[in-house]
Amino acid sequence: MKLLSVLLAVFAAAYLQSTVAGESAAPAPCAASVHHEFDFWIGDWTVTENGKPAGTNRIDRLLDGCALFENWVGVDGSRGHSLNFYDRGRDQWQQTWVDTSPGVLNLTGHFSDGHMVVSGKSTDPKTHKQRLDRITWTPNSDGTVRQFWDQSLDGGRSWKVVFDGIYTRRSP
């Protein structure tokens, strides 16, 4: 419930900021390049896995570039949202994901060697077992983005692939 309250507060702040008119613009607090390491993911995407449709995803910039908001719709009717931002205090990226399963992920990580990698512990919504999730996004030279999600149920000794998808920009 605390996580939901935090997300609602952030979304409310984004809404209020976008509706205030006539105020002079202050310098963008998130202008540093580290805040834009994940900008390659911004866009309106068709997502496939193994060449088959998996869903659509729209990633928007919020709060003057301080956050990214994800809006996922799966071909199976599932839906999910994430809030992504660079946390200067912890010097790492944070992703908070919630979906209709009901699944919740709190992941942290870094952009390194051309990949955004975030990971974190969670509880499987179906089995209630502890797991470790790791998600890697890689921008490809052809403009697509690969998202590779793997998961461990044994503390990282072994991993299984959860999702290996390709994001392709949708035509305007």
Does the pTM surpass 0.95? The reply is no
Tokens of 115: 């990949």
> At residue 105, does pLDDT exceed 90?
yes
CATH of the domain spanning 30-169: 2.40.128.20
Contact (CB, 8 A) for 147 and 137: yes
Name the β-bridge partners of 146.
138, 166
pLDDT digits (tens, 9 = 90+) for 110-158: 999 999 999 999 988 778 889 999 999 999 999 999 999 999 999 999 9
Give whole-number Cα distances, 134 to 10, 31, 85, 149, in Å.
Answer: 24, 27, 17, 6
- 19 pLDDT tier (thresholds 50, 70, 90): very low
d(CA 166, CA 21): 39
Confidence bin at 12 (pLDDT 50/70/90): very low
Residue 149 contacts by C-beta under 8 Å, 6 or more apart in sequence? 133, 134, 135, 136, 161, 162, 163, 164
Query: What whole-number distance in Å separates Cα of residue 93 and Cα of residue 168?
Result: 23
In this prediction, residue 127 carries a pLDDT of 83
Q: For residue 5, what pLDDT is reported?
A: 53
What residue spans define the domains of the chain? 30-169
